[in-house]
Amino acid sequence: MNKNLYLLDNVHTVEGFFISNNWKKGNVYYKNLSTEYSIFKNSLNTKYKIIQFLCKTVLKLNLIFRNQNGIPAIGIDDSFLLENKINPLVLDNYNTIKLDVLNNFSFKGDKYNSILILQGKLEGIIEINSLKLVFNEIKKLKSLVLKEHPKHKTDELFSIGNIPTIPDYFPVEMCYGNIKNNIISVFSLSLVVASRMKGRKAISLLELVDWCNEDYKKQIKNMLIKKSSNKIIFPKDILELQKELKK
């Protein structure tokens, strides 16, 4: 049995770090899958100070906070992980291996033409009313399934109705084998993986919603273009989206 423990993202692995701290069966590695980020340098409010204090005292974990559009987001510093003997996992062909697995995997269940992937909290980033308008258009699609976010449920944005959903605890990339055509989201990083899948279209709704910060929008779009080698589709209006979905 493999006695190593793998953490797949050094920025979003607070729970994983706690497990690894108590892992006595082998080595611990991490694979950094995150985008570039800057450190949040402003003063933290009481909520984040409490989180930082609890992680330090209970988990023995020194947190950093990433700057996500002016909002602090929990992160872990690479050097801190290394000091705690969590080593980088070096796999030159990691992306090839991952795609090979995803292209040959599907779970038992129905197949759908399209999937709409929901993301984390978007308040303060996207104008929610504009998002509702776009989502209500997508709801008209036949053979559509929703992939909910673990922390932010669909009913916060719009009524699900009779649209089937994939459990929030299921990794979204593992759902792609059950999707025939369209993988849709606003700007989820899962679109990058989707853009490399055989016979699927990765569609971002980024240009169809109103942003609170245009500079942040440009940053996100450039990142998606770069990481997908410009394979993600960005419809400029609802009509273009409709045409793309009918192809």
Question: What DSSP letter does each residue of the chain carry, written as one string?
Answer: ----EEES-SSS-HHHHHHHHT--SS-EEE---PPP--B--SPP-HHHHHHHHHHHHHS----EEEEETTEEEEE--HHHHHHTTEEE---TTHHHHHHHHHHT---SS--EEEEEE--S--TTTB-HHHHHHHHHHHTT-SSEEEE--SSS-GGGTS--TT--EE-TTS-GGGGGGGEEEEEEESS-THHHHHTTSTT-EEEE-GGGS-BS-HHHHHHHHHHHHHHTTS-SB--SSHHHHHHHHH-
Mean pLDDT calculated for residue range 96-117: 75
Q: Which of the listed residues 56, 90, 124 is the one where a domain comes to its end?
A: 90
Verify that 66 and 159 share a domain, yes or no: no
Is 154 within the bounds of a domain?
yes
Domain limits for position 209 = 100-246
Instruction: Report how many domains make up the chain.
Output: 2
Verify that 197 and 222 share a domain, yes or no: yes
Q: Which of the listed residues 67, 90, 113 is the one where a domain comes to its end?
A: 90
* pLDDT 10s digits, 5-20: 666 555 555 666 666 6
pTM of the model: 0.68
Verify that 85 and 120 share a domain, yes or no: no
Residue 1 pLDDT greater than 50, yes or no: no
* pLDDT 10s digits, 157-194: 555 567 888 877 777 888 888 888 999 999 988 898 88
* pLDDT 10s digits, 29-48: 766 655 556 777 788 888 88
Is 95 within the bounds of a domain?
no
Verify that 160 and 194 share a domain, yes or no: yes
Verify that 110 and 150 share a domain, yes or no: yes
Verify that 115 and 225 share a domain, yes or no: yes
